[in-house]
Structure 1
Amino acid sequence: MSQKLNRAWLGIFAMGMALSVSFQETWAQESPADFATHVPLSVSGEGPWYRVELPLAVQLSARQTDLSDVRVFNAAGEPQAYALSRANAQADDNPTLTDVKWFPLYDSADATGHAPSVRVQASANGTLVQVQPSTELEVGEEALRGWLLDASAIKAPLQQLILDWTSERDGFQRFSIEASDDLQHWQSWGEGQLARLTFADERVEQHEVSLPGQSARYLRLLWDSPQSAPILTSAQLQSVRSLPLPLTWSHALDGNSVKAGEYTWQLPRGLNVERVQVELSQPNSLAPVILSGRRDSSLPWQPLSSGLLYRLTQNGEDVVQNELQLPGQAIQQLKLTVDERGGGLGAQAPTVKFAVRATQLVFLARGSEPYTLVLGNATVKAANLPLSTLIPDYSPAKLATLGQASVDGGVVTTPAVSTLPAAVGTDWKKFGLWAVLLLGVLFLAAMAFSLLRKPPANP
């Protein structure tokens, strides 16, 4: 009898395990139809790994804030192995701030159509020793056009330029930025803008200028005509060995005017916002502001950033500072408080754009094209792998050489019939599987019970 009983309980265990495995396998077989949003992908370059930067509009289609519901399928509807990267793999590098040498660039006062011609003396390792005008300038004819910065000692991408200058030149400073490795060939790195203003007994200063995150041995700063450059008192360059992914910006977001000088905006969901850009529609706008945020209306407002926003006309051109930098914490509501002594921003709330750090997806292409990115399922579990698992010999350098995938024409489609396993309606397949499992267990338990009650056979 003991052997029969043991066999009965083993049967119960085996049947339970079989039905449990069958249940898990059934629900592990996801298909594109289980997701609300489909995004066609186009691939280029050498595979089998491809990386794609997810636009913010695509990310907002997810039903889970950590993008656990993102998947990639091939033409046959088979899931692809993938990894998510919200920052470069070695983003634990702290920025390094380096003091650099600066050399004046002089030219004649009327020579504003070209860069100053200079004679340069450098050491064997490229460090600048002396920079002089190529021709002698008479006293009173020379003008300080800009500065040459020596970044030859920095062996990492340059992320930010920080300058200070003498107090004789308050107001705005605008200049072009060029980079070179040989002092002969120069590449434009855009423009820089500095400011030192006094407003309502407060001093507002802007010393930092963003750089494109590339390496260069030398930087040339040329001030816009007809102004001459200020006298620098310090020059620093911030560098990082591993750059974070770029920011991705939202579309313009309408807001509400709560009261005079106070505006609010509702974000699509909780997001780690790093920058906010405020529309300044009227010329000659000047607004000291405080930007606050919170996760939802039940929580108190927390100050996130403050600064001076302006759009001023100078020398026939608009000088604009309309961005605020945030700490990157998760928020869903924004509030801007304006000091109206500067004239305010009007009765209607300005539109804003917000920026979050880009998210990159890397997938291992298996099967035939086309590949489709899908999102929009509130119940599925995360299926992404670590990058080091997806790519066995992974390194940041290898990541940059992978093939590229892109959202095909920015198209985002939603299937006409969605079969999302969301918490809407009754999930009959799931209930059926559990019913079969329970009935089987009860049947075998009844058999075991009957064996226990049966009297032992007479010898």
Structure 2
Amino acid sequence: MSQKLNLRWWGAAGLCVALSAVAQDKPGDFKSQVPLTLSGEGPWYRLELPLAVQLQASQTDLRDIRVFNAAGEPQAYAVARQQAQTREQRSLADVKWFPLYNSAQAGDSIPSVRVQSNANGTLVEVQPATELEAGEEVLRGWLLDASAIKAPLQQLVLDWTSERDGFQRFSIEASDDLQHWQSWGEGQVARLSFADERVEQHEVALPGQSARYLRLLWNTPQAAPVLTSAQLQSSTTSSLPSPLVWSQPLGGTAAKAGEYSWQLPKGLNVERVRVELKQANSLAPATLYGRRESSLPWQPLSNGLLYRLTQNGQDVQQNELQLPGQTVQQLKLTVDERGGGLGAEAPTLQFAVRGTQLVFLARGAGPYTLALGNPTATAANLPLATLIPDYSPQRLKELGQAKVEGASQLTTSTAASPDVAVASGPDWKKIGLWAVLLLGVLALAGMAFSLLRKPAVKS
């Protein structure tokens, strides 16, 4: 009985899911539509969303954005907010190396040395701490001078005389003063020959830290080869600012001297603002406030010194303020009038939001249309890794390009809109689908009620 009940439940649930899937979005459900032009290789296309287009969305998180083909079918898509990027630059540099000798009786003890260096710390000479008689010195390892490299060390590349084949195993230690040493683990290089083939391994990974000197000590005394080359690969990482999309200049109002306010078109996650400074030699310590709506109190967002000064015949200005990226729709700037203020009229203001990309999988015939503006739409975007099975940041850059054919071409849909009455009469197809869905739910409820009323079967 319970198994039959479960089957009926699953069958009814599957029917409801299938009926829900039929009721897909249609272009007429969205207020604004704009044509897209495609270039490059598909079937995936990447679209940089202009701010003017984003402002047509009814929801801040852009969950009401869609792409349709010529037949009005929605396309699978993903929305990606562009993050700050990092760039790594690697360089390979030759370094000086100095032999480390020990006496034959010293075994595997660390050689004692005396060094001579210049004012920059560059090694000039390395000698054993005590004089060794000819024939009793043993090459124990090598000291590398990395004082000219300021970046973190990523890799060690060695070459040695070909007379010494096989594996070369050694310990790696790092120091900045030649007195205190830190272990960087073990290293191994190799040169192997068999038949007419030769296999060589010259690279050793380093922990990505900075050091002025490296000490290489071979694990077995008298096994250290004669080096012919020593190189160190270092890397520097720089952070690229997050791509921003700027608005057109926005007019404001002056409530009183030194206080200006602006109303944004909608609630936005503002990252930065730019205040127009019309007059030269303006100086204004300022604080910026924001809020979602008029009924809420103002919250401080940023402060700084805005200025436009003339120095040596050149115009130098600082007119931007960094914001935390929270959602605001109203902004207020208060200025310390002791710096001269910004005038009686409110300056224009530009705001910037983080760049947003839309990636969609083109299915069916074009042309394709971008649609926005449906306050009742639910999120339908996929993760990028789902939309593009072999997704990677590099793969994303290689996708075909889609462009909006001008924000001025945004058109208001004349079809049914979520908050506009339909002039052409009721949508009987949609009403029929909802009626069938409701009947399925009622049938499911009746089935469950009848099963609950049946008396339990006695065993």
TM-score (norm 2): 0.59
Partner deviation per Cα, 1:13-63 (whole Å, 9 max, x = no partner): 7996587356413422x2212111112111111222111110111001001
1:186-225 matched pairs, under 5 angstroms: none
Q: Match of 2:411, SS?
A: coil
Aligned residue type for 2:16: S
In structure 2, distance between residues paired with 1:61 and 1:22? 31
Q: Which of 53, 60, 65 is the equivalent residue of 2:48? A: 53
What is the match of residue 63 of structure 2?
Answer: 68
Partner deviation per Cα, 1:295-329 (whole Å, 9 max, x = no partner): 22222222211111111222222211111111111
What is the match of residue 304 of structure 2?
Answer: 307
What is the match of residue 27 of structure 1?
Answer: 23
What is the match of residue 32 of structure 2?
Answer: 37
What is the match of residue 79 of structure 2?
Answer: 84
Change (3 A) 1:405 1:92: closer
Asked whether the 8 Å contact 1:58–1:412 carries over to 2, the reply is: no
Give the CA deviation at 1:246: 1.0
Give the CA deviation at 1:440: 7.3
Asked if 1:379 corresponds to 2:369, the answer is no
What is the match of residue 218 of structure 1?
Answer: none
1:444-455 matched pairs, under 5 angstroms: none
Change (3 A) 1:57 1:452: closer
1:48-197 matched pairs, under 5 angstroms: 48-88=43-83, 124=94, 153=151
Of 58-67 and 307-316, deviating more is 307-316
What is the match of residue 329 of structure 2?
Answer: 332
Q: RMSD of the alignment, in Å?
A: 4.0
In structure 1, distance between residues paired with 2:416 and 2:400? 32
Asked whether the 8 Å contact 1:247–1:357 carries over to 2, the reply is: yes
In structure 1, distance between residues paired with 2:319 and 2:451? 82
Asked whether the 8 Å contact 1:37–1:412 carries over to 2, the reply is: no
1:294-373 matched pairs, under 5 angstroms: 294-373=291-370
Give the CA deviation at 1:342: 1.1
Change (3 A) 1:287 1:10: closer
Structure having the higher Rg = 2
What is the match of residue 238 of structure 2?
Answer: 239
Q: Match of 1:33, SS?
A: helix
Number of aligned residue pairs: give it.
314
What is the match of residue 203 of structure 2?
Answer: none
Change (3 A) 1:152 1:405: farther
Asked if 1:420 corresponds to 2:417, the answer is yes
Give the CA deviation at 1:124: 3.6
1:273-288 matched pairs, under 5 angstroms: 273-288=270-285
Give the CA deviation at 1:72: 0.9
Asked whether the 8 Å contact 2:32–2:413 carries over to 1, the reply is: no
Partner deviation per Cα, 1:163-185 (whole Å, 9 max, x = no partner): xxxxxxxxxxxxxxxxxxxxxxx
Asked whether the 8 Å contact 1:256–1:348 carries over to 2, the reply is: yes
Change (3 A) 1:26 1:440: closer
What is the match of residue 142 of structure 1?
Answer: none
Aligned residue type for 2:46: R
Asked if 1:252 corresponds to 2:244, the answer is no
Change (3 A) 1:14 1:333: closer
In structure 1, distance between residues paired with 2:325 and 2:449? 62
In structure 2, distance between residues paired with 1:124 and 1:450? 85
Give the CA deviation at 1:441: 7.2
Asked whether the 8 Å contact 1:86–1:245 carries over to 2, the reply is: no
Give the CA deviation at 1:123: 5.7
Asked whether the 8 Å contact 1:87–1:244 carries over to 2, the reply is: no
Q: Match of 1:349, SS?
A: coil
1:385-404 matched pairs, under 5 angstroms: 385-404=382-401
Asked whether the 8 Å contact 1:12–1:445 carries over to 2, the reply is: no
Q: Which of 267, 277, 291 is the equivalent residue of 2:264? A: 267
Q: Match of 2:418, SS?
A: coil
Change (3 A) 1:442 1:260: closer
Change (3 A) 1:445 1:83: closer
Partner deviation per Cα, 1:93-150 (whole Å, 9 max, x = no partner): 7x99x9xxxxxxxxxxxxxxxxxxxxxxx9648xxx9xxxxxxxxxxxxxxxxxxxx9
Identity level (%): 64
Change (3 A) 1:423 1:27: farther
What is the match of residue 291 of structure 1?
Answer: 288
In structure 1, distance between residues paired with 2:408 and 2:288? 34
Asked whether the 8 Å contact 1:250–1:354 carries over to 2, the reply is: yes
Give the CA deviation at 1:245: 4.7
Q: Match of 1:335, SS?
A: strand
Give the CA deviation at 1:71: 0.8
